[in-house]
Structure 1
Amino acid sequence: MNIDESAISFEQEAEKLELFGFKYETREDLLIGVRAFYSDKGYALSICGSKLEKYVVLQCDRGGQYRDVRGVPLDEREKTTGTRRINCPFKIKGKKTDEGIWIIEIRNLSHNHEASADISDYHSLRQLSQEDIKKVDHMTRSRIPSRQILSSLRQKKLELKAISKTVYNVKAKIHREKLEGRTIIQALLDELGGGT
């Protein structure tokens, strides 16, 4: 074992001791706490398996391999795609005990990549809370531009990792939900009372 390996194993042992001290009332508390713990270290976690009120398995968001869901060969694609996945082995499990408390079980604490210097690179950490989404909706109806919406959100939450693309995506999602699968013209006709 060389010096780098012993430093990593020492760091992982310290991490295990720190993680074993955490106990959570709910699954959501566990997800928020563990994700915050690792985002401070420069890693983002995503759920790779769960059973409601039983367990949740978290992996590094760079874990796993790219899955081609469309089945189109690479040479026939119009657009080349990329992936952040590099089969990172990191995995932990949150489990609900018989007493109703959520605890952490260690599966694998090693990463096969460096921690990110800029945590806003991770989409999963840039997501807005439901409260923030309501604020975006309200400000959008007031015709406030996206850059000002983002500035307002950042003033209220200094730790907010969102970028302008996050706000644009939330606005587009709200717009799609309001259309309820209709085209803009169909929604306008329904609003004016001329729709069928």
Structure 2
Amino acid sequence: MTTTDPARAELPTTPSQTVGPFLHIGLVWDDGPHVVPEGTPGAVWLRGRVLDGAGEPVTDALVETWQADPDGRFDHPDDPRGPAAGWRGFGRSDTRSGEYAVHTVLPGPVPGPGGAPQAPHLDVSVFARGMLHRTVTRVYFPEHADAHAADPVLRAVPADRRSTLIATRAADGYRFDVRLQGEGETVFFDV
């Protein structure tokens, strides 16, 4: 910035700012990655990496998940079947270790547009450096492949890109990497 005021002459331009690597400091969630407590019957880990366009891990991202309970209900007043009392369905994990991890149970199917059932899935938000807005995607599970064909949201995704939304089995649960851009980019939704 140039000015005619001699006291402020030739000050450098202020650099632009983006969301920086402070997510794990400023957005701490007391229960962290635990949607359900350790020892919950049927609990699994969903683990994965957030990858940049070059396929490198982003170690300063934040991943949040939101999901229905095993019966497909939310503890929310807008759930048309009534709230699932005591079910939070929310998890948050940073990627400082190179990956995120969320401890949860598989959700049940939820009603979609017009009441058509949606396949069991988790909604996922990713916050990372350089992004002024979160990205939003979904994680579907391989054992619900029959339900995938009828899911109205998954059907709207081009067939050759649907695999970017399906987790793979792992020893203690599932793996789901999020590619922010580039080859194999995860499908993101405009919400």
Q: With CA pairs under 8 Å and 6+ residues apart, which has the higher RCO, 1 or 2?
A: 2
Normalised by the shorter chain, which TM-score bucket? Answer: under 0.3
TM (norm. structure 2) is 0.27
Greater C-alpha Rg: 1
